[in-house]
Amino acid sequence: MKRLTALLTWRSAAVSLVVVALLAFSAERALAWQSERSRVTDEKAASAAATTEVEGLIDISGSTSEADMAVLLDGATAGFRSELEAQADRLQKALADNAVTATGEAVSTGVVKLADDRATVIVAAVGTVQNKSTTPQGKAEPRNYRLQVDLQKTDDTWLVSGLEFVA
């Protein structure tokens, strides 16, 4: 009888240990899954924000530059917004003076870096530009763009903190 009790105690301990190990493993996997899901969600949101800003930039035209600029400013952090505002008047004047009509769309994005509340996204885009120098030929010139967009997550919204054309 004593031997049977010892055997049952040992088996109970072994089963308990296996159950605890499985629970710990399940909890770790659940946390890892949640973290991965959050990362994927952030990547998609950062890519979407970068795409919106790039398309806003390459769609800017002389006749709609004020509204186009407002869209760009809405997607920018305070620091980047200040940089854009400092150049807005000069850019709008150049667009109007040269009768620029531009269209474009992002064709590909890739998240290069995602850490904490910051991301870097590369956006490839295509577009066309028509202005005073292309008007005599009567057609818009095709353009290819590749931009690096730095973003910062503020209040669950990805905003552009920097943007540059890259080769």
Render the burial of 59-84: b for 16+ CB within 10 Å, e for the rest: bbbbeebeebbebbeebbbeebbeeb
Three-state SS string over 59-120 comes to CCCHHHHHHHHHHHHHCECHHHHHHHHHHHHHHHHHHHHCCCEEEEEEEEEEEEEEECCEEE
pLDDT for the residue 9: 80
Report the alpha-carbon distance of residue 158 to residue 1 in Å, rounded: 68
Q: 80, 161 in Cβ contact below 8 A? A: yes
What class, spelled out in words, does domain 42-165 have in CATH? Answer: alpha beta
pLDDT by position in tens, the chain (length 167):
667 676 668 778 888 888 888 888 777 877 767 777 888 899 999 999 999 999 999 999 888 889 999 999 999 999 999 999 999 999 999 999 988 999 999 999 999 999 989 999 999 999 999 988 876 676 889 999 999 999 999 999 999 999 999 98
Q: 50, 125 in Cβ contact below 8 A? A: no
- pTM for the predicted model, two decimal places: 0.78
